[in-house]
Structure 1
């Protein structure tokens, strides 16, 4: 009897296992691809068909973009407030010389949840890493109302000491200082505990964004990150771009040993654009803390009723989970399709979806002079190999690929189109920045600002080598294999 029961149970378990495997494979294709791009849906379905239980568990934990119920409610509330109250009295309209495709892009941005166009009386670029930090410290020393700082990665080290010293001086003057940094992004640094100890000895009010706590984030996808980099003073002056608040080697001995330093670009604006960047910070502060800063935003003077002579017309575009579907990607492709003569792209992680790849290659095929700046070496194994898998299609279409020479890491994120428009910010041209990260981009128009960005691009070109189809054809079979495999894994978003 015992032997019969054991055999019976074994058969029952085996039948249940096989039935469940079949059920998972049959049901998954009908539910997994919902509300996601076809390539991503197909990648998840293939993974589940090959490894049903592992694939289903991975999809359950990483296949959604939920930020959790409380954060979702707060973000919806903040978005409703900002859309109804901020910026409507200071909308700056494109002038007669603004190309129609840029005016159309501004309307697209606003429709997809971005702010209306606004003007800045001055735009300054900081391509030098240390100069950018010193410039931010100088701006902080002018604060009289508040200081709002938000960085994906934050460290209090020798390079960032001027920045934090300025923050402390502001608190000593009685100025409220609020600091946000991404939990996982910052926790990965070896100086994370030191940062917390130093902050605890100050009057700076700080919070980690999207913290991962066991038992409290079951409904939230844990690899959703806030990748924004913003500094706002009094709601009237702001700095944003690609640079994290850490020393240029990210406090990692292996980077120092290799001589590896990050190359960035940040941008200072004022007026309406600064106020919009402060609104992005206020949104993130409210989502993390529940503390509303709307009164402070309403107290900022409306300084830009329209764009006047000498002012730069622009638009701030926040993106991420909970914001209208991939609005940064839609902006990028829209502007690229509008290119007539030249297109220069800079992205450390270039892993496009089909729409962006087609936009870039189509531009080259219709005679636009297209160049792409990427790193000669990658700091992230999987992303770097996924990026390389697109080089063949780009080269065949006529895109010029410039490899920024190691050991420096080109981490800037921006692109310029003709002599008309530039986009700068925290967003990479990859699937993660389009679908999973909170990012902020800023579109700026006009020949003068484009010329300054072109000067930065000239500096990149001088330090890069041009990749040729012949060079690329000689890469090893191992690298070809890794490139293609990592391209498939990149689709699992």
Structure 2
């Protein structure tokens, strides 16, 4: 029996249960109701078990179903089904591969890697195989350390646009910052510049419809990624496009953690200063960022754009000496868990240090073990997280991982100068990754993400500088103090930890 049919049967059984619970009151029927409810819960539990998920994910869903049978079943119908993922993204994976083959010759490759160490070459082979994009040794990157720097760069790029502007964002708000972006895009559209905006349908649920209408009314192509139509039960609501991409004229690009909104400028009364990291890219590596955008655009709209958006730049001498830059996309459409495997490989390749900044730290068992082993081996493992929650369940789940890491010798810092939203990893001061991917299971398994991987570039030194500066605004966690925290916090953390595979 197909799993789809099984879930329909389970839904019918649930409907029967609800009807019985409303209209039937006597003890005999209530006993029958309880039995039927138990059978339904058991049936759904078997379906989850047979999906052969990661054991931690299977256990988490079974616990939710056991503790909250009705609510757990409804939530599972909306966001928990994994058996449809391959079917949902099979077409996208084929289209992406076809698109890549069409423009592969336009993406330059570097055959000489003599300046990289053996273990770094091994990582680069893995990154190229999983990411399916080449590493560029003729590109330049600049670290943007907050909203002020990011939005200044973004608006300057838009003002200079001559041919096209491509934007892809998870969150877009119709506030002061968002309206300024809208005005600039409309102005460029009136000049004849092609403007395309891809926004996540769930991340932008609060966005006013008039905002998109005004853009479209000016000839701007603005489309949602993976719109969700309720109450149709599917898993679309769970797979979100968390990418933040900007490409202007195929020559400059932006990627990183900052969405569009006032809070990212540090204007939110609760968060205050918003510490985040973005990366400006110029040169041939922008072709890979362009490719990722066009693949997502094709999937969302069906528009098969010709590859005239790619350029063959003549890199400057400065760009040639900038080290390696590789833009890599990961998501549920990939056969392999791209970002999780690359993070894991970076950690185990470390010889001296692993520095991590992530607002949401909920690693899976493999990455968690790699960090503990690195710390136990004498590697300098530092982890920077916020000291205030914006998502309380994730916040408490994160803290449940701290004790063992501290015992292993890792250093954990809580950022106190506002909200820390940066997402980057630095290994040995020679390799780094900065982008949209958090160190959590949602980014590893569910979200569409994009990161820039840097190999011996000057930007890595800039990331190190900002990281060390962040530590001056942070409190180093003490194992003794953390172990003596209040009992209720331990309970919150343990409960959140059980749900971590679902976060």
Contact map agreement 1:65 1:436 (CA 8 A) in 2 = no
2:432 to 422, 440, 445: 422
Tell me how many residue pairs correspond in the alignment: 478
- Output the CA distance in 2 between the equivalents of 1:318 and 1:488: 29
1:61 to 59, 78, 95: 78
Shift of 1:197: 5.2
- Output the CA distance in 1 between the equivalents of 2:165 and 2:135: 24
Whether 2:349 is the aligned partner of 1:350: answer no
Whether 2:152 is the aligned partner of 1:137: answer no
Kindly report which structure 2 residues correspond to 1:148-297, keeping only aligned pairs within 5 A, or say none. Answer: 148-160=166-178, 162-188=180-206, 192-193=208-209, 195-196=211-212, 198-214=214-230, 217-248=232-263, 256-258=268-270, 260-297=272-309
Contact map agreement 2:412 2:477 (CA 8 A) in 1 = yes
2:464 aligns to what SS in structure 1?
helix
Contact map agreement 1:119 1:271 (CA 8 A) in 2 = no
- Output the CA distance in 1 between the equivalents of 2:217 and 2:437: 33
Greater alpha carbon shift after TM alignment, 322-331 vs 152-161: 152-161
| Residues 257-296 of structure 1 deviation map (CA, whole Å, 9 limit, x = unaligned) | 3362422111111233211111111111111111112433
Match of 1:84 in 2: 101
Contact map agreement 2:57 2:502 (CA 8 A) in 1 = yes
Instruction: Report the TM-score, using the length of structure 2 for normalisation.
Output: 0.87
Contact map agreement 1:328 1:434 (CA 8 A) in 2 = yes
- Provide the alpha-carbon RMSD of the alignment: 3.0
Shift of 1:84: 1.8
Shift of 1:118: 2.2
Contact map agreement 2:147 2:264 (CA 8 A) in 1 = no
Greater alpha carbon shift after TM alignment, 135-144 vs 85-94: 85-94
Match of 2:322 in 1: 311
Contact map agreement 1:151 1:182 (CA 8 A) in 2 = yes
Shift of 1:338: 0.7
Match of 2:54 in 1: 37
Which consecutive unaligned segments of at least 5 residues does structure 2 have? 1-22
Contact map agreement 1:64 1:221 (CA 8 A) in 2 = no
- Output the CA distance in 2 between the equivalents of 1:485 and 1:61: 22
Q: Residues 458 and 276 of structure 1: is their aligned pair in 2 closer, same or farther, counting only changes over 3 Å?
A: same
Q: Residues 208 and 402 of structure 1: is their aligned pair in 2 closer, same or farther, counting only changes over 3 Å?
A: same
- Output the CA distance in 2 between the equivalents of 1:99 and 1:341: 14
2:124 aligns to what SS in structure 1?
helix
Which consecutive unaligned segments of at least 5 residues does structure 1 have? 1-5
1:258 aligns to what SS in structure 2?
coil
Q: Residues 394 and 68 of structure 1: is their aligned pair in 2 closer, same or farther, counting only changes over 3 Å?
A: closer
Contact map agreement 1:171 1:177 (CA 8 A) in 2 = yes
Contact map agreement 2:323 2:457 (CA 8 A) in 1 = no
- Output the CA distance in 2 between the equivalents of 1:258 and 1:31: 39
